Structure formats: C-alpha cells, structure tokens
Amino acid sequence: MPKQSVPSLFGGTSPFFRSFQNDLARMLDLSRRAAPGAGETSEFFEQFATMPAVDFAETDTAVEVSAEVPGVSEDDLDVTVQGDLLIIKGEKSSDTEDEQKDYHYIERRYGSFRRQIPLGFVPEEGAVSADFENGVLKLTVKKPKNGPSGVQKVQIGKS
C-alpha cells in the first residue's frame, strides 16, 4: 500500500489518521472524566476545545492546509516546520468580563492551541507560504522536487 500524506476517507494508515485517532480517543476519555459544567475540567480538554478545524488538500506539487482560527489575531499565530511536521500554534484571548452581572456562563473557548500535521515529506527551506484573512489561515507546502514520488511499482517475480 503506498504511503499517504493526507487522510483517507476510509481509514488507512496515514500519519495524520493515526494522530487524529489518538487525539479523538483522548478527547472522548477526558470528556467522560470531566464533562463541561461538572466543576472540574482538564487542561487538555480546554486545549482540545480551542483547536482549529483544519481542511487538507493534496496536489502533485503541494499540500494545502486551511485552518479556521476565529478570534485569533495574526500576531498570536506561530507556524513552524520541524522535519516532516507542520506545527500551528496560537492563542485566543478572552474579552474583558463584566463583574457587575449576577451570572457567569461562557460557552466560547479561550486559550492556547497546538496542532501538529504530519506531511509525509520534509519540505525544502522556504517551501511554505501562508495567508491569513477573515479568521482563516491558508498554508501551501510545496513538495520537494527531488523527493520520492510516493508510489513505487514493485515487480513480482517467480521463485
């Protein structure tokens, strides 16, 4: 089976899919132990709740990532590449609260987040471009020109 760098709709063994499964399992486990409104919440649950939703697309020459980060300013975003990982970090700050009111209920999530996206290849220096507009971060990661194509035909011989 060829190595994939983006998730398959039907499962598969891509690094992204394994990472997503692990994150989902941890989230479901934590939600059983500390549901919102139960008084005690975990730091991980709060961090997971602020994670941006991400879309992926792959072409022959690049991987394109769009991340929704509403309420986060461009100055509060940090995008880095470490090996074959694309890392998106940021922080959503809370608005000032009115202490005069006799109730306190907040559904919007605030705090920092970190999202690691396995690319399946190590991009060359300067191969990542980013645009930020209306709360959407768009990243384009060019694939290396001299890298493996990802698909190799294996000849089967008779013994």
Backbone angles phi, psi at 128, to 5 degrees: -110, 130
Domain positions in the chain = 15-95+107-142
Give the SS3 label for residue 19: helix
Q: Name the E strands within 12-127.
A: 54-58, 62-68, 77-82, 85-92, 111-118
CATH hierarchy code of domain 15-95+107-142:
2.60.40.790
What confidence tens digit (pLDDT) does each residue in 39-60 have? 444 455 555 556 788 998 999 8
What confidence tens digit (pLDDT) does each residue in 15-38 have? 666 777 777 777 666 544 444 454
List Cβ neighbours of 119 (8 Å cut-off, separation of 6 or more): 5, 63, 84, 85, 86, 141
Q: What is the pTM of this model?
A: 0.60
Sign of the CA dihedral running 40, 35, 88, 106: negative
How many Cα atoms occupy the beta-carbon half-sphere of 126 within 13 Å?
Answer: 0
pLDDT at 3: 47
Count of residues making up the chain = 159
Residue 134 near residue 146 (C-beta atoms within 8 A): no
Q: Residue 111 has what DSSP assignment? A: E
Of 128, 24, 112, nearest in space to 79 by CA: 128
What confidence tens digit (pLDDT) does each residue in 100-150 have? 666 666 666 677 888 999 998 899 989 999 999 999 999 999 998 876 555
Angle at 146 between CA 153 and CA 119, to 5 degrees: 80
Average pLDDT estimate for 87-92: 89
User: What amino acid occupies position 30?
Assistant: L
